[in-house]
Chain A
Amino acid sequence: MSEHKATPVGGSLMTPSMRILLFVFMVGAALTVWRFAVGLGPSTGLSDGYPWGLWIAFDVVTGTALACGGYAMALLVYIFNKGKYHPLVRPALLTSALGYSVAAIGIIIDVGRPWFIWRIPISVGKWNLDSALLEVALCVMAYVMVLWIELSPAFLEKWQDSGNTGLANFSRGLSKFMDKALIWFIALGMLLPTMHQSSLGSVIMLAGPRLHKLWHTPWLPFLYLISCIAMGYAVVVMESTLSSRAFGRQREDKMLASLSGVTSGILFLFVAVRFVDLFLRGRGPLLIGEGYYSVMFWLETVLFLAPAIMLAGSRGRARIATMFRASMMIVVAGSLYRFDSYLVAFNPGPGWSYFPSVPETVITLGLVAMEIMVFIMLVKSFPILSGTSPMPAHRK
């Protein structure tokens, strides 16, 4: 494993691109303060017809699915025992930890009375076990913590060599404990997303009659679960490609290729389940003749099928460009599926419309900027990325 040892990238933190990210983040933060002062009406495009918008559909529902890299990689490495993927785990975990943290912040900004959120985990006797959203809330809270714990060895490794003897000793002691206990956190780190990613499908299933029949199905939880795993792998492929380029690291091409094979299978399964379910329940005719809705459904289907086909053969998987393109399509497909089921296919009746307001959008951009900033800062300072030998100069 020594050739895969993770090391900090190093280099200066305050680069020009970091300054731009910081600026976007600051504007978003200022608008967030304003949103809490004036309430959600003036600051967002939300209404009684469309009570959920960009923040829920993107920051939470799509964001956490994109942050499933840690989950998907852990499944592969620890359950299916494919240790060769190990170098991809830490960066995937970091993206997940950041993605889920951003989702948690997004929820705090979105709900009307976030100062009562603490009551959810402690009000055990009052828990409504019918509510899929309760399960999502509890799981996400727990999972954010679990992800940072799963990632903690990266921090402990660095701190062990700290000049501060107290911190070094503490890290060494904790490291020993973590070596033994980590497995149980990792198991939790796989259980929780299995639960809440499927439950994100259940959440919108309750909209029942107001959700278009092409999307509303008892299979929503299952479809949400498998698509988030595909999205997780796709993000790992993209992130690995991008960070090898940005930080001049060796790519893990072979690993990414076999990973893409798994993803292809999941995508085919997703499309198959959807179509079989529609036809079994007599909803096949809706595939044409529902206008806009049919078009969106087919657009999703094409976006899911195309990468499945691209990645099905070993020839496609031999080319990193093909894998990258396919992964991008998977990310778009999974995101569109989530946007459609939470916003486009949700119809509260005549007279209502939704489009995100400018402040709403900028706040989301600010959160994304923060996520990228923290990612760059952490990989530069802590042992997250592997592949120490720099790439040839002309590839940089």
Chain B
Amino acid sequence: MARTRRAFLKGLAYAGGTAAVSAVPAIASEPRKAPDDAVGMLYDTTRCIGCKACVVACHEANDLPPDTRGDALYDAPQSLNDRTKNIIKLYQEDGRRSYMKQQCMHCIDPACVGACMIGALQKREYGIVTWESNRCIGCRYCQVACPYNVPKFEWEEANPRIIKCELCNHRLAEGKEPACCEVCPRDAVIYGKYDELLAEAKKRMADHPGRYVDKIYGEHDGGGTQVLYLSHVPFEKLGLPELGDEAVPKLNRTIQHGVYKGMIAPAALYVAMGAVMLRNRRKGDKGGES
């Protein structure tokens, strides 16, 4: 009896999930790497002039309706939303200013993908995070999970979708670049293979010492992103969060896979509980102990 009860309590502790995490870091999964065919973008704040040509091009390329929801006249979205997959913002403080481009970061180990129940959001070809309609039930867990606040929901639709930058994967299939990169007059945002973009960013930093903050955002942040940033102002001023080097979904993965590996712990717990109950019933004990 004592032994089965102990087994039960043990199982309970496991299911709590935390014993696994705090005591057995050995089961922590290896950090993920960008896929071999990974592509991405490099945005350089020192080159952007804020013309917003990329915002318009993105709208056109992705068949998004104009966002005239402010004054019903101008197509002027305030931030990423269900009609805006790409936006240019302006940071201004104490005489310093910088433009900032926001869109999906196409994380190497994305939190939204870790959240998504049956894989509507996944890293598909070229490591691009895309959304598949018929696997989405609209639970919006991706929105809760994304540290960049990127996935957007069609709040005014009866059959809502998740809207986010998919790196113009429909254009890539035609041999074209993402619309924002193609249209940029200053090459402030460029498209390319992930490895080459990373090399280019490093080269620019080496060629222009002192021009940039001493870091490529996305090289390691949150486990790395396929969209990289160079900036002359601190990244947190541009709204890019300090995530550390660990991928956001890693802690969850460690716990889920530690506890539920092969469903052994739950199965053992189930059998143990059944066995304890059978034994209790056989003893016919109706609660003598108090």
Binding site for B on A (CB under 8 A): 1, 36-42, 46-49, 51-52, 78-86, 110-114, 116-117, 119-120, 123, 126-135, 137, 183-184, 186-188, 190-191, 194-195, 198-199, 201-210, 218-219, 221-222, 225-226, 258, 346, 348-349, 351
Contacts and interface: CB of A to CB of B under 8 A. Distances in A.
Contact of A225 (B16, B116, B157, B281): B16
Contacts of A219: 18, 22
Nearest to A119: B118
B206 interface: no
B119 to A, nearest CB: 5
7 contacts: A49-B149, A51-B144, A81-B276, A113-B159, A114-B138, A205-B255, A218-B251
Contacts of B277: 78-79, 183, 186-187
Contacts of B118: 119-120, 123, 126-128, 134
B15 A48 contact: no
Nearest to B13: A222
A194 B277 CA distance: 17
Q: Which among A41, A86, A187, A206 has the greatest number of chain B C-beta atoms within 10 A?
A: A206
Contact of B15 (A110, A116, A194): A194
Q: Of A41, A187, A191, A208, which is in contact with the most chain B CB atoms at under 10 Å from its CB? A: A208
Nearest to B253: A130
Interface residues of B, number: 75
Contact of A116 (B5, B136, B144): B136
Most buried by B among A127, A210, A348: A210
B158 A131 contact: no
Contact of A79 (B155, B255, B273): B273
B139 A111 contact: yes
Contact of B81 (A38, A48, A130, A210): A48
B21 interface: yes
Contacts of B134: 116, 119
B140 interface: yes
A112 B144 contact: no
Interface stretch (B38-46, B192-200, B282-290): B282-290
Contact of B115 (A129, A201, A206, A258): A206
Contacts of B143: 48, 51
B35 interface: no
B17 interface: yes
Q: Which of B152, B242, B273, B286 has the most CB of A within 10 A?
A: B273
B27 interface: no
A191 B137 contact: no
A152 B286 CA distance: 21
B256 A86 contact: no
B281 A183 contact: yes
Given A79-B8, A81-B289, A130 B269 contact: no
B10 to A, nearest CB: 12
A348 B192 CA distance: 31
A119 B135 CA distance: 8
Interface in B236-290: 239, 241-243, 248-249, 251-253, 255-257, 260, 266, 269-270, 273-274, 276-278, 280-281, 283, 285-287, 289-290
B274 A184 contact: yes
Contacts of A349: 149, 239
Contacts of B135: 116, 119, 123, 126
Given A113-B159, A187-B273, A205-B252, A79 B18 contact: no
B156 interface: yes
B187 to A, nearest CB: 29
Q: Which 10 A-B pairs have the closest CB atoms?
A: A112-B138, A41-B155, A83-B287, A84-B287, A222-B16, A221-B17, A51-B140, A51-B143, A83-B286, A112-B160
Given A47-B155, A209-B147, A191 B266 contact: yes
Given A78-B280, A113-B136, A195 B15 contact: yes
B117 interface: yes
B16 A221 contact: yes
B141 interface: yes
B273 A190 contact: yes
A124 to B, nearest CB: 9
B140 A112 contact: yes
A40 B144 contact: no
A206 B144 contact: yes
Q: Give the residue among A83, A111, A130, A348 with the most B Cβ atoms within 10 A.
A: A130
Given A39-B155, A48-B81, 17 more contacts: A39-B156, A78-B273, A79-B8, A112-B136, A113-B137, A119-B135, A126-B119, A126-B135, A137-B117, A190-B273, A202-B17, A206-B115, A208-B147, A208-B243, A218-B21, A222-B13, A222-B19
Given A52-B140, A133-B141, A218 B255 contact: yes
Nearest to A110: B139
B115 A133 contact: yes
B81 A1 contact: no
Contact of B155 (A37, A40, A111, A132): A40
Given A52-B140, A117-B137, A131 B117 contact: yes
Nearest to B287: A83
B255 A113 contact: no
Nearest to A183: B277
A196 to B, nearest CB: 10
Contact of A206 (B18, B249, B274): B249
Contacts of B139: 110-112, 133
Nearest to A351: B79
B287 A86 contact: yes
Contacts of A207: 144-145
B114 interface: yes
Contacts of B49: none
A81 B287 contact: yes
Given A42-B156, A81-B280, A128-B116, A135 B5 contact: no
Nearest to A108: B137
B182 interface: no
Nearest to B139: A111
Contacts of B136: 112-113, 116
Nearest to A348: B149
A120 B137 contact: yes
A202 B15 contact: no
A46 B290 contact: no
